[in-house]
Structure 1
Amino acid sequence: MDLRARLQAATKDAMKSRDSTRLSTLRLIGAAVKDREIALRGGDGEGGEMTEAELVAIMSRMVKQRQESVRAYEEGGRLELAAQEQEEIEIIQEFLPRQLSEAETVSAIDSVISDLGASSIRDMGRVMADLRQRHAGQMDFGTVGPMVKDRLLN
């Protein structure tokens, strides 16, 4: 079952079980997907079909936005809102690929560096591009970038 079908099935299940938090989160995902499809269509009404990788990218951005909100709410002492955002993160992450552990991430970085023969900081762009292609949605590239840089400098 592809990701879009899983999202639709989960939305129907949430409606049937009257799980309002899950339903609203799934509807937010659906709205973000619709917005992106409309943007892809442009003015001619053609195209607009999204790939699975684009769906994963949209949901990854949604998780990242909510993580920032959780930090802001916790700093502001709004723990109930932070908990609500955390609940949304968990719902969205059910549909994302499994995140690599730190050891798996280091192994993936080392593998890409050796496969490409990268030896200096000038190769960082190629390494990051290859990691994004191989492990889209499986790692946080904000934290991977400094790790790659460190590996290439040493």
Structure 2
Amino acid sequence: MSALKDQLNTAVKDAMRARDKARLGTLRMATAAIKQVEVDERIELDDARILALLDKQIKQRKDAAQQYRDAGRNDLAETEEAEMAVLQEFLPTPLTDAEIDALIDDAVAQTGAAGMQDMGKVMGVLKPRLQGRADIGAVSGKVKQRLN
């Protein structure tokens, strides 16, 4: 079993013992999403895939919170943000801008990228390194600027 999956299962048990319904619900949704992928694909997920799933769930909650705020439903937005905070506990520490820039420079040098036509190569190298540690969309914008 992957370390991250084990950590999530332990957190579910701790939330049960503490009778923390909000945290327990969020953690159960995360473990259910992991289990769904494992059943569908008939594989055991590794930490990288679990991080990608958690990252996706955080993004979904961020979008939902923004939509709720736009609609004037701050109560629902706060619920989404609380769920985001629970999920973010399982992500590795975020990278600083300087670290991201260094990784971009390294990926450009490694792939020999010369222009926008090499964007896919650079992102292919960067994505595994950045998963769960940086917003891939924001990094993509930085790579575009770097390659232009």
Q: TM-score, normalised by structure 1?
A: 0.90
TM-score of the superposed pair, with normalisation by structure 2: 0.94
How many angstroms apart in 2 are the aligned matches of 1:63 and 1:120? 32
Residue number in structure 2 paired with 1:56: 51
Tell me the matched-pair count: 147
2:23 match = 22
Structure 1 window deviating more from structure 2 (64-73 vs 130-139): it is 130-139
Cα distance in 2 between the residues matched to 1:34 and 1:133: 22
Alignment of 1:112-127 (within 5 A): 112-127=107-122
Tell me if the contact between 2:61 and 2:84 (Cα under 8 Å) persists in the aligned partners.
yes
State how far apart, in whole Å, the 2-side matches of 1:62 and 1:133 are: 18
| SS class of match (1:96) | coil
Secondary structure of 2:128 counterpart: helix
User: What is the aligned partner in structure 1 of residue 64 from structure 2?
Assistant: 69
CA distance in 1, matches of 2:96, 2:128: 18
Q: Where does residue 12 of structure 2 map in the other structure?
A: 11
Q: Which amino acid letter does the alignment assign opposite residue 35 of structure 1?
A: Q
Question: What's the CA shift string for 1:107-142, capped at 9, x where partnerless?
Answer: 211221123222211111110000012222212111
Partner of 2:102: 107
Residue 136 in 1 paired to residue 137 in 2? Answer: no
Deviations 1:52-100 (A, max 9, x none): 1111111110000000001001101111111111010010011112221
Off by >4 Å, runs of 4+ in structure 1: none
Identity %: 40
Unmatched tracts of structure 2, length 5 or more = none
For residues 110 and 83 of structure 1, the distance between their equivalents in structure 2, rounded to whole angstroms, comes to 38
CA distance in 1, matches of 2:71, 2:101: 34
Deviates more, 1:74-83 or 1:100-109: 100-109
Q: What letter corresponds to residue 28 of structure 1 in structure 2? A: M
Contact 2:130 2:136 in 1 (8 A): no
State whether residues 61 and 80 of structure 2, in contact with CA within 8 Å, keep that contact through their aligned partners in structure 1: yes
The answer for the alignment partner of 1:91 in structure 2 is 86
Aligned-partner Cα distance in 1 for 2:101–2:72? 35
The one-letter code of the counterpart of 2:27 is: L
